[in-house]
């Protein structure tokens, strides 16, 4: 049962949160990875380096650490990490979240029994400060048909939950730098290639959020990123021109015209439970 875990960490990640994330995908899992690919995206504080050194020392045969001299962003980090992984199934994880103990066991067995599926994600709960301080849940569709329909309006995966087939990801061009949406950009390219998707109905990761998360989902640069993805979907035949125009207009209203505070209310009301 060989599979890899792919994580990227950078200077703004808190060492205590990073330690908890690493523990949740290694020693606390019912099915533990044979390889952890950790991309250190630029210089990080001494506390973070200490966590990395301790993790490697505890399991030197499992950890593969890649260090960038300068911060290059998540897309570039995941691109190099995917190339460095040696197993066909690669599980994504963020550096400050907490995986549930049986996450990998569920996803690995699903991927083994559904060889046609290239991306398998799951549901998330979102918390502030403590795991029991849950502020929302992001529920995404599970079947391939429903995922394709959902993707016509918004992203159908919780990125930190996905299991990937490495060979197919590389065939589609791998992760690539794309402002705040390197995952969405990859999913669309895999859709154009007509690969099969799935999400499990289970909550797989507890996601650490902050009050500033909705501010990051706005601004002209974020809008241009999403507009580019919508254009790719149009050109790839995934959406019609009327749908493209509607999606772009809706994103302009929410991401550019709307104040951060109101954006937060809209996101919680429409996209969270």
Question: Taking residues 14-41, what's their average pLDDT?
Answer: 97
CB neighbour list of residue 230: distance below 8 Å, 6 or more residues apart: 239, 244, 247, 248, 251
Architecture of domain 4-210: Alpha-Beta Complex (3.90)
pLDDT in tens, 113-140: 999 999 999 999 999 888 888 888 999 9
Is residue 205 within 8 A of residue 103, CB to CB? The reply is: yes
pLDDT above 70 coverage of the chain, percent:
91
Percent of the chain whose pLDDT exceeds 90: 80
- DSSP category for residue 161: G
Decide if 31 contacts 99 (C-beta within 8 A): no
Query: Rounded to 5 degrees, what angle do the CA atoms 172, 224, 247 make?
Result: 85
First to last CA, the chain: 35
- At residue 218, does pLDDT exceed 70? no
What DSSP element (H or E) covers 63?
Answer: strand 63-68
* SS3 of 249-267: HHHHHHHHHCCHHHHHHHH
- Token pair recorded at residue 116: 């046609």
What is the Cα–Cα distance from 31 to 25, expressed in whole angstroms? 9
Model confidence at 52, pLDDT cuts 50, 70, 90, reads very high
User: What is the rounded CA–CA span in Å between residue 211 and residue 146?
Assistant: 30
Asked if residue 252 has pLDDT above 90, the reply is no
Q: Please list the residue range(s) of the chain that carry CATH number 3.90.550.10.
A: 4-210
Cα–Cα distance measured from residue 112 to residue 30, given in angstroms and rounded to the nearest whole number? 17
When pLDDT is cut at 50, 70 and 90, the band that residue 268 belongs to is low
């Amino acid at each position: 049962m060989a599979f890899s875990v792919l994580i990227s960490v950078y200077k703004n990640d808190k060492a205590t949160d990073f330690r908890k994330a690493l523990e949740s995908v290694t020693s606390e899992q019912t099915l533990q990875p044979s390889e952890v690919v950790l991309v250190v995206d630029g210089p990080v504080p001494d506390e973070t380096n200490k966590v990395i050194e301790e993790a490697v020392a505890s399991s030197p045969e499992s950890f593969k650490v890649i260090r960038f001299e300068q911060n290059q962003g998540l897309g570039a980090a995941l691109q190099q990490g995917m190339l460095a992984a040696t197993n066909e199934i690669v599980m994504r994880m963020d550096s400050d979240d907490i995986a549930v103990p049986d996450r990998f066991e569920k996803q690995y067995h699903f991927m083994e029994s559904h060889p046609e599926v290239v991306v398998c994600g799951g549901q998330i709960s979102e918390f502030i400060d403590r795991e029991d301080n849950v502020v929302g849940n992001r529920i995404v569709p599970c079947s391939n048909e429903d995922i394709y329909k959902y993707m016509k309006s918004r992203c159908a995966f919780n990125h930190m939950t996905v299991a990937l087939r490495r060979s197919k990801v590389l065939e589609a061009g791998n992760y690539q730098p794309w402002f705040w949406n390197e995952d969405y950009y990859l999913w669309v390219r895999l859709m154009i290639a007509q690969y099969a998707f799935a999400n499990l109905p289970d909550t797989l990761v507890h996601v650490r959020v902050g009050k500033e998360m909705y501010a990051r989902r706005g601004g002209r640069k974020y809008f241009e990123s999403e507009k580019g993805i919508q254009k790719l979907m149009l050109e790839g035949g995934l959406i019609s021109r009327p749908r493209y125009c509607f999606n772009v207009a809706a994103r302009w209203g929410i991401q550019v015209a709307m104040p951060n505070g109101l954006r937060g209310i809209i996101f919680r009301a429409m996209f969270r439970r």
